[in-house]
Amino acid sequence: GQILFPSLLRYRAAGELAELWQALGNSERAGEYRQIQERISRNLALVFGVPARLQGWLMAATKVGRQADVWGTLYALHLGAIKGAPADRAADTITDALRRKTIVFEGAVRHVPTDLDASPQSARERTAGVAVNTYQNGAYWHTPTGWLIEAVRRRDPPLASEMFDEYLRHLRAQDFRRGPGHGAPWECFGRKGYTQNGVYMTSVTLPWAVLSGTERSERKPNERKLWHTLL
């Protein structure tokens, strides 16, 4: 079937190639890549959106994995790849999920909302021997935290700031420099003491890039650069 996240990566790549061709003075080739972006954007909600079942979430895939893709939906908003009513619906759904704590723990983000797991034994519909609530089958990650804060700030700035505070509290409490038993920034972790791969710098660098405005995005600059505002 069709897969959401690679579609978003292709959207972003097409935009970057368009910028390169434009910088080289070739508007025709730049326009070709902009058309690719437009085609992807136009079809994302049609292909991956099922409002009656998933509200504003986009599905991870159209065959195996017809589940809410938290990361994919956040990234689609960050890129500006979904617009209009689908973007508004996604922002509302994300904000509601944050309020109900179905996608977050200590400032980190799950791939699938806890109330939309595939089964009690698995967050994902299909996994490669990964136990539930570990790694990509239900653990929590700080990699997409910046996307989440950025999305929620559209609807509820105080809630976005609260999320940012939780993120910082976790990093400080678990800071690897505090010695044995500490390892933050972790790659991912769980609610029952599970942790994986300490000093995983993407858990800091990507949120920083998004919230400081240095992450490349289709969004307008004044809608980013949130880091100092949140602090």
User: Does residue 96 register a pLDDT over 90?
Assistant: yes
Strand partners of residue 49: 58
**Residue 215 has what pLDDT?**
73
Smallest Cα–Cα separation from 150: which of 53, 218, 55?
218
Burial class (CB in 10 A: 0-12, 13-18, 19+), 25: exposed
Q: What is the pLDDT of residues 37-75, one digit of tens each?
A: 999 999 999 999 999 999 999 999 999 999 999 999 999
Smallest Cα–Cα separation from 149: which of 207, 68, 93, 218?
207
| Residue-wise burial string across 127-162, b where 16 or more C-beta atoms lie within 10 A, e elsewhere | beeeebbbbbbbbbbbbbbbbbbbbbbbbbeeebbb
Q: What is the pLDDT of residues 191-226, one digit of tens each?
A: 999 999 999 999 999 999 999 886 755 544 444 556
Name the pLDDT band for 123 (thresholds 50, 70, 90).
very high
SS3 category, 157:
helix
Q: Does 219 or 102 have the greater pLDDT score? A: 102
* Percentage of residues in the chain having pLDDT higher than 70: 93
Contact (Cβ atoms closer than 8 angstroms) between residue 147 and residue 74: yes
Q: What is the pLDDT of residues 127-170, one digit of tens each?
A: 888 999 999 999 999 999 999 999 999 999 999 999 999 999 99
Q: Does 83 or 213 have the greater pLDDT score? A: 83
State how far the Cα of 108 lies from the Cα of 132, in Å rounded to an integer. 17
Tell me the average pLDDT across 90-94: 98
Q: Tokens representing 183?
A: 């390892």
- Single pTM value for the model: 0.93
**Residue 128 has what pLDDT?**
83
User: Does residue 176 register a pLDDT over 90?
Assistant: yes
Tell me the average pLDDT across 84-103: 97
Smallest Cα–Cα separation from 208: which of 167, 151, 169, 178?
167
